[in-house]
Structure 1
Amino acid sequence: MSKTFTKSDVASHNKADSLWIIVDGDVYDLTKFQDDHPGGKKILTRFAGKDASKPFWKYHNDGILKKYKPSLQIGSLDTKPKPEPAPAPAPAQAAPQPTKEVKKAAAPAAAKEDAEALEPYGSLIPFGDPSWYQGYHSPYFNESHAALRAEVRQWVETDIEPNVTEWDEKKDVPREIFLEAGRRGYLAGLLGVHYPVEYVKNAVKAVPPEKWDLFHELIITDELSRVGSGGFVWNILGGFGIGCPPLVKFGKKALKDRILPGLLSGEKRICLAITEPDAGSDVANLTCEAKLSEDGKHYIVNGEKKWITNGVWCDYFTTAVRTGGEGMNGVSLLLIERDFGGVSTRRMDCQGVWSSGTTYITFEDVKVPVENLLGKENQGFKVIMTNFNHERIGIIIQSLRFSRVCYEESVKYANKRRTFGKKLIEHPVIRMKLAHMARQIEASYNWLENLIYQCVKMGETEAMLRLGGAIAGLKAQSTLTFEFCAREASQIFGGLSYSRGGQGAKIERLYRDVRAYAIPGGSEEIMLDLSMRQSLRVAKLTGMKL
């Protein structure tokens, strides 16, 4: 049970050899922390034995409190209000049985039961979370989605968010976090397909595997993105989420049986290797070559890949290679294993997403068994295009949550920071900035929900053809929204968003990550052009009248 102290108790610990402070009614012993305090010892000494809540929140965000609270808090003030106990559930009562006439009259209402609003969840800042978190009715989400949301958020807030800044500076995330994602069954739910129970040791607790859908996948990506670090999200989801689906969908059974259990548990890692120094969005013109050996048992692979997420840590590389002539009809997809030899990787330093492990890969006479071909020879372009929809939806989800992070952090700061005698939120120009952020986020997110629902209802081939243009358009829309929100948040935070760490840490970090979302998966310009070309082509085939 937590100890309680009076203010007099705390006041007596006001020296360097015994230094206590109060933050929001909780008592912290900082005696041994003084040498580690980034602001130096003197500022701590100034508030020794006192309530330091106001100066603490002036310089720090809640992530700092979450990080240090477990190790430094020793109790609370005796005057701090105790949390209200949760009310006991009401005893179940047998409902009266309706007559046939009542049943008939109630039929329309009964049909709407699935769309009942869920309990409000989170901070309830308007537009800070999707509307279904805030008591709005939704046809897409139910109790299983809410349960998964709570499970992921608890893990993120306890074990991840307090450490993300440190991991980003180190340009890495502890392997244990990726392993935990596997143990929790989250990795198996990020493949854009049914939940592959046959290859999983531990399935997700909150959701029966047979009820898993693409909205559950959205929730995992969305909740992980709340930490406000593209580097972290790409470390966990980046390579895996785009490198593993082609293996699941197009790999031979023996290959999947051998490799998938290790991937879904987190013990092994995989990435997608398509982009080359001279072939980014222009996938059809890649040059990494795979020649069949004389005995027909192996492909001999030579070439380079660039900007490959997670590549430095990976055991497997889902690799686009040229097995035939020029253009898209000469492209195949191979699963290359690092153990084959001839694979070398080196980390690339980039503007943002520091902890994602961006990699330059060189393949030199790598012998790849023909059994590692994914799909059919010279038909890999179709596999790659199918995979792009899933990749782009992941980018959309992350971009829109990062936009919300920029917005939510701005609302919190604007309600705390005072200029010219009043809070920032009381200035119309600040509210206008927030309004423009919110309108773009909400419009884009509603489009996202609709597209995911279409993916649920359509077959994969139909979705690839009919939704490819819309998904490309929303990919551009979401990254433009992210860029806008990052800029506006930076303006609201001012100089705090220009220095790393502190209250503006998330905004500074996300501003660096913007280009990593605007370019990969198809640059904004290419996406917008593709959205029109693809949509018009499909409409012409399905009866468009001009």
Structure 2
Amino acid sequence: MKRTIFDQDHDDFRSSVRAFIAKHISPNLERWDSEGLIDREAWKAAGEAGLLGIAVPSEFGGGDNPDFRFRMVQMEEFARVGANSFNAGTSVQDDLVIPYLADLGTQDQNSRWLPALCDGTAIGALALTEPGAGSDLQGIRTTATRDGVDWVLQGSKIFITNGILADVVIVLAKTAPESGARGMSLFIIPSNTPGFRRGRKLEKLGLRSNDTAELFFDDLRVPSDSLLGVEGRGFVHVMERLPRERMSIAATAVAAAMAAFEWTRGYCFERHAFGQAIGNFQATRFTLAEIATDLDAGISFLDRAALLLNDGELSAVDAAKAKYWLSDIHNKIVDRCLQLHGGYGFMLEYPIARAYADARILPIFGGTNEIMKEIIGRDIAAHAESN
């Protein structure tokens, strides 16, 4: 499929991303998977290469370019070499943590954290999920109570991407538990704060080298200027930023599906059985045809949504549709691609096996796809009732 969404600037950027990956990422992928952790040096190298904080204003050390297509280029190039764990970590940094700070932070907060997040000397995490509250954020139990001019946090979080390496964590806590969704606030928590404790580095099915952790806050005391945004509007702040997060997941899904198809197409015409390339069997050709068509539809869907995001016109419902459908189609494509690899597809030395394991989280990330369907369904019902 010929894509018209990218121009020469994006193509030039793609070349620089490929050079960065060849030098700093590809040689380390197997070791990182084995160790279960990505070197901090890779983050610093990404910052030096201008791959972090692309949308951040230049006064805070960023690229001053909010065009989401540059992020899409990165995701495609990371997926092309199977660097899904590094993509997951940098997506949290660039599509979650940095936008929260850039949109909601004070001048002092942004001056302190954004330059370090952009140059890779600081790694960020977003701590929303708790053991008893995943997609239902209103069920969180972490609290922040005033004590003089300070806030004191108590509670825990789970499944926090970048949790082991994070230097700064944005935490959602209840500041007025009796007020429900209107009683939540966001806080900027440096990880060296007394009372901040990391739990286990969690063992996952996929994204093996991306660090995912439990976090604990034990009488964690922070000053009043640690509040991010408006007190009591933490839940609203999160809801307002979910479309960007879900677009990041959708773009990751398409990038990974594209990579899986390219690996599989090559394999099918290199691998021979019964005297010919397996790609010449009708059953294989039909499967490849189905994958190619699904992929073209997915790319078109994503590209349209990306342009809407750039124009500030992507609705929460549209983002939910993109996240749900594209992550589902990604899993469907990767499953078919693994099948075409036969027994080799089950071997971790082949990238399709790792991609298969990495794919499964995307329908869960950022709100499960069942929640996405509920968001879409409620919108349909609301419009039906108003007509």
TM range (shorter): over 0.9
Give the 4+ runs in structure 1 shifted more than 6 A: none
**Number of the residue aligned with 1:161:** 26
- Matched residue, 2:59: 198
Of 232, 235, 245, the residue aligned with 1:391 is 245
Which residue in the other structure is 2:204 paired with? Answer: 350
- Partner of residue 358, structure 2: 513
Alignment partner of 2:360: what SS?
helix
Residue 333 of structure 2 is matched in structure 1 by 485
Q: Which residue of 2 aligns with 1:188?
A: 53
Give me the whole-angstrom Cα distance separating, in 1, the residues matched to 2:173 and 2:237. 12
1:499 maps to 347
Equivalenced residues, count:
385
Q: Which residue of 2 aligns with 1:142?
A: 7
Residue 159 to residue 337, structure 1, CA distance change in 2 (3 Å): closer
Deviation at 1:239, TM superposition (A): 4.4
Decide whether the 8 Å contact of 2:269 with 2:279 is kept in 1: yes
User: Which residue is equivalent to 1:317?
Assistant: 169
Partner in structure 1 of residue 40 of structure 2 = 175
Report the equivalent of 2:296: 442
1:275 to 126, 129, 135: 129
Deviations 1:190-235 (A, max 9, x none): xxxx4410011xx66xxxx4x6522222222222222224222123
Identical residues among aligned pairs (%) = 26
Structure 2: distance between partners of 1:162 and 1:415: 27
Structure 2: 5+ residue stretches without partners: none
SS in 1 for 2:315: helix
Change (3 A) 1:235 1:195: closer
Of residues 64, 82, 86 in structure 2, which corresponds to 1:232?
A: 86
TM-score, L = length of structure 2: 0.94
Alpha-carbon distance in structure 1 between the residues aligned to 2:206 and 2:370: 21
Who is 1:332 aligned against? 185
* Greater RCO structure (CA 8 Å; 6+ sep): 2
**What do the CA deviations read for 1:287-315 (whole angstroms, capped 9, x no partner)?**
1110111x2x1110000100000111111
How far, CA to CA, are the matches of 1:267 and 1:327 in structure 2?
Answer: 37
- Where in structure 2 are the equivalents of 1:334-483 lying within 5 Å? 334-346=187-199, 347-458=201-312, 463=313, 467-483=315-331
Q: CA deviation at 1:154?
A: 2.3
Higher gyration radius (CA): 1
Give the drift of 1:545: 6.9
TM-score, normalised by the number of residues in structure 1: 0.68
Contact residue 44 and residue 120 of structure 2 kept, 8 A: yes
Aligned to 2:158: 306
Q: CA deviation at 1:240?
A: 4.8
Instruction: Give the whole-Å Cα distance in 2 for the aligned partners of 1:453 and 1:535.
Output: 23
Q: Deviations over 1:318-341 (max 9, x none)?
A: 000000125211111111112221
Distance across 1 between alignment mates of 2:71 and 2:88: 15
5+ residue gaps, structure 1, are 1-126, 133-137
Encode CA deviations 1:59-97: one digit per residue, 9 max, x unaligned: xxxxxxxxxxxxxxxxxxxxxxxxxxxxxxxxxxxxxxx
Quick one: which amino acid aligns to residue 364 of structure 2? I
SS at match of 1:363: strand
Instruction: Tell me, in whole angstroms, the C-alpha distance in 1 between the residues paired with 2:260 and 2:6.
Output: 25
Question: 1:151 aligned to 2:16?
Answer: yes
User: How far apart are residue 535 of structure 1 and its match?
Assistant: 5.6
Structure 2 contact 75–255 (Cα < 8 Å) conserved: no
